[in-house]
Chains A and B, each alone.
Chain A
Amino acid sequence: MTKSEERKIEGQKTLASGYVTLDDLKKAGNIPPDGILEARAVPIIDDIEEIPCTPCRDVCPTGAIIMPSMNDPPKVKWEACTGCTLCVQACPGLAITLVNMSFGRKVLKRNDIALVSIPYEMIPVPKRGDRVRVYDRGHNYLCDGEVYSVIKSVKFGTIVINVLVPKQYALHAKYLEVIKGE
């Protein structure tokens, strides 16, 4: 158990209190169909609101993020995404994870493992090979994950942790904490 799991007060599980679920994102069309998910890396954007914000759209090299006006919520053209993680690094709201379900199969020869890119602005920063605790959108513990790599870009300033998790947790994984003593 980490310090953050020991908070005594329980939050309300409502969208009105900032608690977003995968269902909320599915309803908004922010989760791709299974076929696409199995085939390629895709950004999962936890923004379903009209807010004036455009960095993800502006940074995307292939125009895969559609946002006609600055207040429109981003929509992804799944087949145009190259999985470059620039939107994950650029998003000021740390709202984007990149989910790569095929990574285990293609790179590690393990069909049960996915790679998730998670934006991170805390300390300590984990390093390759570290075990981390992986949480969902409501800080419910999902699983331990292994850090595959860490992207640090001076331009964007937000670190991206690429973490390996069992596939069934990939769409849920949204936050991680370094296990003390790692």
Chain B
Amino acid sequence: MKEIDRRVYEHPILSFDRGRRVRVFFEGKEVPAFESETIAAALYAAGVLQFNYSARLLRPRGPFCMIGKCSQCMMRVNGVPHVRTCITPVEDGMVVEREANHDMELPSPKEGLRVERLSLSYDVVVVGAGPAGLKAALKASDAGARVAVLDQSPVAGGQLSKQTHKFFGTKESYAGMRGVDIARMLVSMVKERENIDLYLRTQVIGYFRREGLLIAYQAKSVNEFGVLVIRAKAYIVATGAMERNLIFSGDDLPGVMGAGAAQTLMNIFGVRPADKPLIVGAGNVGVIVAYQALQAGIDVQAVIDIAPKSAAYLVHSSKIRRMGVPILMRTTIKEAYGNGRVEGAVIYEVDERFRPIPGSERDVEVDGVWLATGLSPSVELLELMRAKIKFVPELGGYVPLRTQYLETTASSVFIAGDVSSIEEASTAMMEGVVAGISAAEKVGLGRDDLRTERSESLRWLETFRSGPHYRRIKEGLNKVLIQ
């Protein structure tokens, strides 16, 4: 049998430095892998799309989010159950297995778990190393704060690292630079700072409010962990967002994934998630991912959206139209089907009241369905911190109340980026500036020049949000602003 290799070796923008080749064993067979890859990326590259089964009906399941937020990529690795393979790097000799009934078993000490406890103390702790978190850390560091940045991913940069396109905005928001280059720049700045410690593969698992203690675990391997007990004077929560699912028949088939998950595979690891996908959602995310897929040599079949008008910037959508990718509005997906993976989909048109138009159904030959149907802010940690949360659809769902300086109702807890409202990386970075300066001020490191910079950033955000695409978001922001 011919060995499947879905890796991209030529790309107009990216070059993939995969590192040394290592051996990973999946169900008795060796799967070629490279040291910079996660287990999920290596399996996908080898054509393994089904990672586990649903607990009761044993339906095949594959990864959905690829950023450690859903649980669909969990597998048994070196005997340890429930390992999130999308954020766990491969190691030479690793043994990976699918697990059935995965919710029935807990990892236990008999698996040889090694845990080491560490007590740490900082002025400011930032949770999330994406555009907002990195910027916030740099600003708090400018003020002289001792800062820790935690992220569950093995790669810092968040969603920035996946963006091959040049950013819009102004020079203040690095307009004209590609997201991947902005990420590289911010991460190297953070690493150069002596007063910032960056903890990757580190997930927050608890917060003790009375003591002001944050508990996180740092994965060193699948069975070796550091438990970090962190005391900080202020926290900045920049945990980003989670891609939304859409309910349709076959929505759990391997090959149905978030558009951001497809981006992770294509642009971080250089692995083609599909050869001819259908993208659902013609907002900026959907059409940008379509363009990036074309760059990775993937033949996007269509972008569909139930709304009458694409919410994307016309500049972004016309970029894929001129390359021949059809966009179909008032069109949505009825089902995805296939034997263990997506082999086709049925789409249909809707009328102005979103009712299916009889006879409009058609079968499309696709091998992947990527959902760009919106994001939900990841507010779980803020809930644990007892920040007041409100449901504001304009901002993406449940979001925390905040002052103009991005402090929540929880004492000394600040927010920035998609967790505060679903917007763009440009606004996330600018919010990071505001939150970083504000958190530093809160711990007694206020400075006039930084306060001036904060005012300028707030003014920039105001101007950026003054266009028609931001009308709804501005209305939403008015609902969560507190004094």
Q: B314 contacts A53, CB within 8 Å?
A: no
- The interface residues of chain B lying within 8 Å CB-to-CB of A14 are 329
User: A103: CB under 8 A from chain B?
Assistant: no
Q: Which 10 pairs between the two chains have the least Cβ-Cβ distance?
A: A18-B317, A11-B326, A93-B315, A92-B166, A139-B324, A71-B467, A53-B168, A16-B309, A4-B324, A17-B327
User: A131: CB under 8 A from chain B?
Assistant: no
B357 to chain A, nearest CB (A): 14
Which one, A8, A18, A157, contacts B327 given CB within 8 A? A18
User: B225: CB under 8 A from chain A?
Assistant: no
**In the complex, A138→B327 CA distance in Å?**
11
User: B308: CB under 8 A from chain A?
Assistant: yes
Q: Is the interface of A mostly helix, strand, loop or mixed?
A: loop
**In the complex, A29→B189 CA distance in Å?**
43
- The interface residues of chain A lying within 8 Å CB-to-CB of B466 are 69, 71
- The interface residues of chain B lying within 8 Å CB-to-CB of A15 are 314
**In the complex, A56→B301 CA distance in Å?**
32
B312 to chain A, nearest CB (A): 7
Q: A12 contacts B315, CB within 8 Å?
A: no
Which one, B170, B178, B329, B468, contacts A17 given CB within 8 A? B329
A33 to chain B, nearest CB (A): 24
- The interface residues of chain A lying within 8 Å CB-to-CB of B317 are 17-18
Q: Mark B272-313, 1 if CB is under 8 A from A, else 0.
A: 000000000010000100000011000101100000111011
Which one, B11, B315, B467, B469, contacts A123 given CB within 8 A? B11
Identify 21 residue pairs between A and B in the complex whose beta-carbon atoms are under 8 Å apart, listed by A's number: A18-B314, A20-B318, A46-B314, A47-B314, A50-B469, A51-B315, A51-B467, A51-B469, A52-B464, A53-B169, A53-B175, A69-B466, A71-B463, A71-B464, A93-B168, A94-B319, A95-B319, A121-B13, A125-B12, A136-B322, A157-B13
Q: Mark A29-57, 1 if CB is under 8 A from B, else 0.
A: 00000000000000000111111111100
User: B320: CB under 8 A from chain A?
Assistant: yes
- The interface residues of chain A lying within 8 Å CB-to-CB of B170 are 52-54, 58, 70
Q: A18-B310, A46-B315, A55-B176 are in contact. Are A12 and B328 (CB under 8 A)?
A: yes
A124 to chain B, nearest CB (A): 8
B228 to chain A, nearest CB (A): 39
Of residues 54 through 68 on chain A, the ones whose CB sits less than 8 Å from some CB of chain B are: 54-55, 58-59
**In the complex, A93→B167 CA distance in Å?**
8
**In the complex, A90→B319 CA distance in Å?**
15
Which one, B12, B166, B168, B282, contacts A52 given CB within 8 A? B168
Q: Mark B314-345, 1 if CB is under 8 A from A, else 0.
A: 11111111111111110000000000000000
What size tier do the contact residues of chain A reach?
Answer: 35 or more
Interface residues of B (CB under 8 A from A): 10-13, 165-171, 175-176, 178, 282, 287, 294-295, 299, 301-302, 308-310, 312-329, 364-365, 426, 463-464, 466-469
B302 to chain A, nearest CB (A): 5
Q: A54 contacts B175, CB within 8 Å?
A: yes
Q: A7-B301, A52-B467, A70-B464 are in contact. Are A174 and B322 (CB under 8 A)?
A: yes
Q: B166 contacts A157, CB within 8 Å?
A: yes
Q: B318 contacts A137, CB within 8 Å?
A: yes
User: A122: CB under 8 A from chain B?
Assistant: yes
**In the complex, A12→B301 CA distance in Å?**
14
- The interface residues of chain B lying within 8 Å CB-to-CB of A157 are 13, 166, 178
Known pairs A49-B313, A51-B315 / 19 extra A-B pairs, C-beta < 8 Å: A3-B299, A4-B323, A9-B301, A17-B282, A17-B310, A18-B318, A46-B318, A47-B314, A49-B315, A51-B168, A53-B170, A55-B166, A55-B176, A69-B466, A122-B294, A123-B10, A125-B12, A139-B323, A157-B166
Q: A8 contacts B323, CB within 8 Å?
A: no
A56 to chain B, nearest CB (A): 9
User: A182: CB under 8 A from chain B?
Assistant: no
Q: B310 contacts A138, CB within 8 Å?
A: no
Q: A92 contacts B324, CB within 8 Å?
A: no
B177 to chain A, nearest CB (A): 9
B173 to chain A, nearest CB (A): 9
**In the complex, A4→B319 CA distance in Å?**
14
Which one, B168, B327, B469, contacts A11 given CB within 8 A? B327
User: A158: CB under 8 A from chain B?
Assistant: yes
B285 to chain A, nearest CB (A): 14
- The interface residues of chain B lying within 8 Å CB-to-CB of A93 are 168, 313, 315-316, 319
- The interface residues of chain B lying within 8 Å CB-to-CB of A70 are 169-170, 463-464
Q: A18-B287, A52-B464, A92-B165 are in contact. Are A135 and B322 (CB under 8 A)?
A: yes
In the complex, the chain B residue whose C-beta lies closest to that of A20 is B318
In the complex, the chain A residue whose C-beta lies closest to that of B315 is A93
In the complex, the chain B residue whose C-beta lies closest to that of A15 is B314
- The interface residues of chain A lying within 8 Å CB-to-CB of B326 are 7, 9-12
- The interface residues of chain A lying within 8 Å CB-to-CB of B318 are 18-20, 46, 95, 137
User: A23: CB under 8 A from chain B?
Assistant: no
**In the complex, A14→B307 CA distance in Å?**
13
In the complex, the chain B residue whose C-beta lies closest to that of A124 is B10
Which one, A16, A49, A58, contacts B171 given CB within 8 A? A58
**In the complex, A94→B310 CA distance in Å?**
19
**In the complex, A18→B314 CA distance in Å?**
6
**In the complex, A123→B178 CA distance in Å?**
18
Q: Mark A114-152, 1 if CB is under 8 A from B, else 0.
A: 000000011101000000000111110000000000000
Which one, A51, A59, A139, contacts B322 given CB within 8 A? A139
**In the complex, A85→B261 CA distance in Å?**
36
- The interface residues of chain B lying within 8 Å CB-to-CB of A46 are 314-315, 318
Which one, A8, A90, A125, contacts B176 given CB within 8 A? A90
In the complex, the chain B residue whose C-beta lies closest to that of A89 is B176
Q: A7-B299, A9-B302, A94-B319 are in contact. Are A16 and B310 (CB under 8 A)?
A: yes
